[in-house]
Structure 1
Amino acid sequence: MEKIISKLYQIINSTNSLIDLEENVKMYMHDVFSSLLGDVFTQLDQVIKEQKQAEGWTVIRDDDKTVQFTFGGVTFRHTSMRDKSGDCRHPFDEWLGLRKHQRHSALVEVKVAEMASETDYRETARVLKEWTAVNISHTTVGSIVKRVGKAQAEADKEMVVELDEADFLPEGKKVDFLYAEADGVFVRGTKRKNSLEVRHAVVHEGWDKSGKRVSLRKPKVIMTTQPTVEFWKEVQAFTAHQYSLEDTQIVSNSDGGAGYTAEKFQEAFSQSKYPVLNQLDLYHVSQALNRAFGGGSNEFKAGVKKALKEHNKADFKLWMDTYESILEEEKGKEKLEVFRKYIEHNWERIFDWREKVENPPEDARSLGAMESNQRHVSFRMKKRGMHWSKDGGEGMVKIIQGILNGTLRDVYLKHQKRSERKQRQVKQTVRMAQILRQPTRPTIGARQGSISLYVAHSSARGQLLKSFR
């Protein structure tokens, strides 16, 4: 402690401004903690090495290893050993929870991934360097994003496998109504004229109102760039692990595009005994209406909107035919025909779900939260001409999913959690390391004694004896 205080006085004495002082103190603090933790790790490695030698392991060599923590790079000695089977292993790395060739702590990696979900890789690297002792390149940020996102993707696949292999459905929360919406958003791929579709579903239990602000109640998202079949398997597995849907009315919403049909929802929520209500998304209907009739208002557009609201097919056809008769350009007629086919193909899905159930909840609202939720993807992955590889795109959407659902850290750090047996071993190893690091050992003092010479003190031997006293 005296050494640290002296160093702080020295730093204060050698700096001319408070800014320089704080930066120098921060750097010194990082150096001190990194050095101390490195010493502790080295001592723990020695203890574990001796334990393994007692079990019959042999030492290959001792090497220095550096791991980047949030407070700096920690360098320590770790021992390469050969176990009883002849395999080369690093017992301290395994004890600590470090994977092979890991150069950044798990906390650094998950924090990098979380920051990268909000800004680009170069900016992530710059901010980390400014505010922490983590100094990494933007390419390393990209590698970490793929690794952390892969952990979330593998956890989602495990849920799918568990559901396929289970003899019975998991016991989950019971709700009267569950609301689901799904759609896709395209982002640029790394190859020319090649894009990735981010398939995205939102599941929630209803709506909460605070003043004039309305928010979804307990929303959960499922995102992936994998094929449609895999996407719907993840949706089914995720909801089956969260809810018991046997007595739940599922209300769904989509634009009816390929991969997001009513049949897909029915299959994903087949455990419910009620037919899944699937309505056509009003936002996409409004978009299609504007493409066919233009952005302004006119009597034909108003007539079609009224016919759709009242679900009057005869009036819809009348207004459509009348408007078509006054069009002169072929391009306008083509747009109108596309709109007609879109509506007629999805006619049975144009309804207000609240009119289809006997006792809708008091806080029931119309569906249509998909577009606002797509911003989590579009704001991060479509700006400034960004291009995404297959692995990078999947890693990013899984990170976004994990953050929104609050699962990312638990999924990625689950290998760090120790069992009770493992924790007992950790405590035993730490105690032994504390004993070994004691710089001095307790004593009972020096033994007192003398040897009789039986000669005169004035003699040569007597004078020598007095010189030792």
Structure 2
Amino acid sequence: MNTIISKLYRLIHQTDNLIDFEESVRTLMYELFASLLGDVFTNMNTVIVKKKQAEGWRVERNDEREIQFTFGGVRFTHTLMHDLEGHSHYPFDEWIGFKKYKRRSPFVEVKVAEMAAESTYREVAHVLKEWTAVDISHATVGTIVREVGRAQAIADKDMVIDLEDSAELPEGEKVEFLYAEADGVFVRGTEKKKSHEVSHAIIYEGWDKSGKRVSLRNQKVLMTTKPTSEFWKEVQALTANHYSLEKTRVVTNSDGGAGYTAEKFQEAFSQSEYPVLNQLDPYHVFQGLNRALGAKQSDYKTELRKALENHDLEHFNLWLDTYESTLEDSKKTEKVKVFRTYILNNWDRILNWKKRIDNPPEDARNLGAMESNQRRVTYRMKKRGMHWSPEGAEAMVKVKQGILNGTLREVYLADLKRSARKQREVKKVVRMSSYLHQPTRPSMGAKQGVIGVYAPHSSAIGKLAKSFR
């Protein structure tokens, strides 16, 4: 402690402003903690080696390793050993959870991925360099994102496999109503004129209102760039692992595009004994109306909106025919035909779901949250000249999914999490390693001495000496 205080005093004298002082203190703090943790790791390695030697393991050699933490690179000694069968191990690395060939701590990697889900790779690298001891390139940030995202993708795939292999559905929460919406959004690929479709689903139990702000209750998200057939399997597995839907009324919403039809929803939520109610997304209906009739307000648009809201097909055809008869431009006529076809093909799905079921919830609202939720993808992965490889796009959406569902850190550390037994071993080894610590200098006690006065007791220095007796 005295050494640290003396260094702080020295830094105060060596710097002439608080900015330089604080930056120097931060560097000192990083170096100190990295050094101390390195000593702890080395001591714990010694304890584990002795324990393994007692079990018959053989020491091969001692090696140096460095792991990058947020506060700096931690260097420590770890021992290569051979077990009774002759297999090579670094027992300390296996015990604490360091993977082979890893140079960064799990927290650094998962934190980098979480930051990259909101900012560009270059921005993440810059912020890390400014605020932590982590100095990596933007390319390394991309590598970390792909690795962390791959962990979430593997967890989702395993969830599908477990559901397919299981003899019965897992026991989940029982809810009276469940709502689901799905849509796709395209992001540009690295190959010319090629893009990737991000399939996106949100599943929620209702709505919570705080003042004027409305949020989705217990929202769960699924995103992937894989084919829609795999997407719907993951949706089904995610839902089955959280809910028992036998007595649940499932209400769904989509734009009716290829891959997001009513049949897909029915298949994904087939465990419910009720038919899955699917409505055409109102946003896309009125977006199609604006494309066909223009953005300006008109009597035609007003009457067509009324016809759609009242589900009056005769009124709809009457007003659309009337509008079409006023057109002379063939391109505008074609837009009207496209809109008519879209509406007629999905007429049975243009509905107000609250009027189609008995006793809807008191807080029931119209569905249509998908468009605002798509911004999670578009704000990060579109515009600004962004192009994505297949692996990079899949990793990014899986990282965002893991963050939103609160599963990213859990799945990334799935094979590193200690069991209760192993955690008890941790406490035991930490106590044992403390025995290895020896003070650098044995205490000699307080020393005593006398300073000669060499002056009359009546003098000023003599009186001062008498006051100390």
Q: TM-score, normalised by structure 1?
A: 0.91
Distance 1:284 1:107 in 2: 42
Q: Secondary structure at the match of 1:111?
A: helix
Deviation of 1:439 after TM superposition, in Å, equals 4.2
Aligned to 2:405: 405
Matched, 1:261 2:261: yes
- In the TM superposition, what whole-angstrom CA distance separates every residue of 1:324-366 from its partner, at most 9, and x where no partner exists? 2222222112111111111111010001000101101111111
- In the TM superposition, what whole-angstrom CA distance separates every residue of 1:367-403 from its partner, at most 9, and x where no partner exists? 1000000011111111301111111111111111111
Q: Secondary structure at the match of 2:155?
A: helix
Aligned to 2:462: none
Distance 1:432 1:307 in 2: 79
Distance 1:393 1:234 in 2: 17
Larger displacement relative to structure 2 (331-340 or 315-324): 315-324
Runs (5+) with no aligned partner, structure 2: 444-469
Distance 1:428 1:134 in 2: 32
Aligned to 1:199: 199
Deviation of 1:440 after TM superposition, in Å, equals 8.0
Aligned to 1:467: none
Question: For residues 422-441 of structure 1, what are the structure 2 equivalents within 5 Å?
Answer: 422-439=422-439
Deviation of 1:154 after TM superposition, in Å, equals 1.4
Question: For residues 317-328 of structure 1, what are the structure 2 equivalents within 5 Å?
Answer: 317-328=317-328
Aligned to 2:95: 95
Distance 1:428 1:362 in 2: 56
Which amino acid letter does the alignment assign opposite residue 196 of structure 2?
L
Q: TM-score, normalised by structure 2?
A: 0.91
Q: Secondary structure at the match of 2:67?
A: strand
Aligned to 1:4: 4
Deviation of 1:442 after TM superposition, in Å, equals 10
Q: Secondary structure at the match of 2:16?
A: coil
Which amino acid letter does the alignment assign opposite residue 329 of structure 1?
D
Distance 2:194 2:80 in 1: 46
Distance 2:361 2:436 in 1: 67
Aligned to 2:248: 248
Aligned to 2:371: 371
Deviation of 1:425 after TM superposition, in Å, equals 2.2
Distance 2:225 2:194 in 1: 13
Q: Secondary structure at the match of 1:321?
A: helix
Matched, 1:154 2:154: yes
Q: Secondary structure at the match of 1:122?
A: helix
Larger displacement relative to structure 2 (430-439 or 157-166): 430-439
Deviation of 1:176 after TM superposition, in Å, equals 0.9
Deviation of 1:2 after TM superposition, in Å, equals 1.1
Matched, 1:286 2:286: yes
Aligned to 2:190: 190
Which amino acid letter does the alignment assign opposite residue 201 of structure 1?
A
Larger displacement relative to structure 2 (76-85 or 189-198): 76-85
Aligned to 1:347: 347
Aligned to 1:36: 36
- In the TM superposition, what whole-angstrom CA distance separates every residue of 1:82-101 from its partner, at most 9, and x where no partner exists? 22333322111111101111
Distance 2:210 2:49 in 1: 59
Matched, 1:395 2:395: yes
Aligned to 2:270: 270
Distance 1:40 1:363 in 2: 56
Q: Secondary structure at the match of 1:415?
A: coil
CA distance change for structure 1 residues 294 and 27 in 2, over 3 Å: closer, same or farther? same
Distance 1:83 1:254 in 2: 58
Distance 2:5 2:210 in 1: 52
Aligned to 2:58: 58
Matched, 1:220 2:220: yes
Distance 1:200 1:303 in 2: 33
Aligned to 2:236: 236
Deviation of 1:57 after TM superposition, in Å, equals 2.6
Distance 1:139 1:346 in 2: 46
Aligned to 1:414: 414
CA distance change for structure 1 residues 6 and 311 in 2, over 3 Å: closer, same or farther? same
Which amino acid letter does the alignment assign opposite residue 47 of structure 2?
V
Larger displacement relative to structure 2 (259-268 or 41-50): 41-50
Distance 1:260 1:326 in 2: 35
Distance 1:81 1:181 in 2: 54
Aligned to 1:13: 13
Q: Percent identity?
A: 65
Which amino acid letter does the alignment assign opposite residue 207 of structure 1?
W
Runs (5+) with no aligned partner, structure 1: 444-469
Deviation of 1:441 after TM superposition, in Å, equals 11
Distance 1:40 1:403 in 2: 32
| Matched residue count | 443
Alpha carbon RMSD of aligned pairs, Å? 1.6
Matched, 1:304 2:296: no
Distance 2:62 2:163 in 1: 46
Which amino acid letter does the alignment assign opposite residue 129 of structure 1?
K
Which amino acid letter does the alignment assign opposite residue 230 of structure 2?
E
Distance 2:318 2:420 in 1: 74
